[in-house]
Amino acid sequence: MNSDIIPFIAGTLVFASSLISLRVGISVAILEILLGTIAGSFGMQPQSWMLYLANFGGIILTFMAGTEIDTKMMQAKFKECILIGFLSFFAPFIVVFIFAQFILNWSFQSSILAGIALSTTSLAVVYSVLVETGLSKSELGKLLMAATFVTDMGTALALSLVFTKPNWKSLLFVVCSIIIIVLARLFANRIFNNKKYKNKVNEPEIKFIFLLLLALIYFAKIGDGHAVLPAFILGLLMSKYFTDNKTTRQVIIRLRTVAYAIITPFFFLVGGMKVSLPAIYGALGLFVIFFLLKIISKFAGVYFVFGKYAPQGKMYSTLLMSTGLTFGTIACQFGLNEGYLDSVKYSVLLGVVIASAVIPTFIAQKWFYPMEEEDIIEYSIGNGK
């Protein structure tokens, strides 16, 4: 395919996703993944600029998700967040690992990677869906994002503990991430509460956020890590600047507008392009089994817990917790690069990760939306509203 036409096609797909989303009422993120998969099956491969923009988009989504976390609610419901997040990670991890290790006779490293890749919950997908539906402001939405973070933390720690060999580069990444987060907290007041910067067309506040995230990406690259977790923590720690008053809240609204218009669509579009449909078709039975194992084990882990703590949204919440994308893709890519996964295993696992981002989300939105739109803000877990 002529490389000059790829940006035009990508822009067309992004625009078409928005129109279709408005028409059929399905999350635009899901449609971007689907159209990306279709484009990839017709030979369209992401260019280097698309890959970087996709990575940046995932980091922005993670940062914005962090800013939406209600830290007071998280402290008040610490037990629920930890329990749901841990079970969401551990149940699919152990089930998939046992199946790959003892039924398929995969190597230990391949089995561990399969368990890690399919244990994830996509913070980017969950956040995008909750924002689009307005549920990010409800207690249910806040609980979901907090629990998703715990799940992804478990995934990241498992990947690091099993496969990462600490060295000075990884230590540099950790130290620089801490310094960036500390400096961000120190300078945030000067940036966000400076009357000279407010409502300016050149958007200094948004550029400040972009600078911080680009710095995290740079040092993550040096340390062979990923900026997702520090970006979330940065957003979490800076959340008070975007919730204390309406003026600073407008910064996140404008950031969301910029990000959703051109940056984050490439995160989902490129994710779809990475799927190899021929490879999945060649191992379709294995693909279906892994997908069912992920979904069933997620349900076994968190459905009944949600039934206790969020009974009105237990099916919807469990389906969203079954999604995967960011860390699942990272785990698959790591396994392929290090030789732990061959091309077939990689395609099957990545296909399951992408499918889990699409199918549970579609079902949740179509048939298990927990409330009427006008009741979203008033919804309170377990209070009957």
Write out pLDDT tens, residues 346-370: 888 888 988 888 888 888 888 887 7
- Of the candidates 243, 351, 215, 253, the one whose C-alpha atom is nearest the C-alpha of residue 294 is 351
Q: Give the Cα separation of 354 and 337 in Å (integer).
A: 19
pLDDT given for residue 165 in this prediction: 67
Helix pair 28-41, 6-24: axis angle to 10 deg: 140
Element (H, E) at 119: none
Give percent of the chain above pLDDT 70: 88
Q: Give the Cα separation of 317 and 140 in Å (integer).
A: 8
Phi then psi dihedrals of residue 378, to 5 deg: -80, -10
pLDDT given for residue 132 in this prediction: 77
Write out pLDDT tens, residues 102-157: 999 998 989 998 998 898 888 778 877 887 777 777 788 888 888 888 887 788 77
Q: Give the Cα separation of 235 and 244 in Å (integer).
A: 14
pLDDT given for residue 376 in this prediction: 41
Distances from the Cα of 291 to the Cα of 323, 354, 359, angstroms = 11, 10, 10
pTM for this predicted structure: 0.73
Q: Give the Cα separation of 318 and 84 in Å (integer).
A: 10
Greatest mean pLDDT among 14-18, 161-165, 197-201 lies in 14-18
**Cβ-based burial of 252 (10 A; exposed 0-12, middle 13-18, buried ≥19):** buried
- Average confidence (pLDDT) over 19-32: 79
In CATH, which of 1.20.1530.20, 3.90.1170.50, 3.40.190.10, 1.20.5.440 is domain 3-375?
1.20.1530.20
Element (H, E) at 371: none
Residue 381 banded pLDDT, cuts 50, 70, 90: very low
Write out pLDDT tens, residues 283-340: 889 999 999 999 999 999 888 888 888 888 889 889 988 888 777 877 787 777 677 8
Write out pLDDT tens, residues 207-262: 888 999 999 989 888 887 777 778 878 888 887 777 666 666 777 778 888 888 88
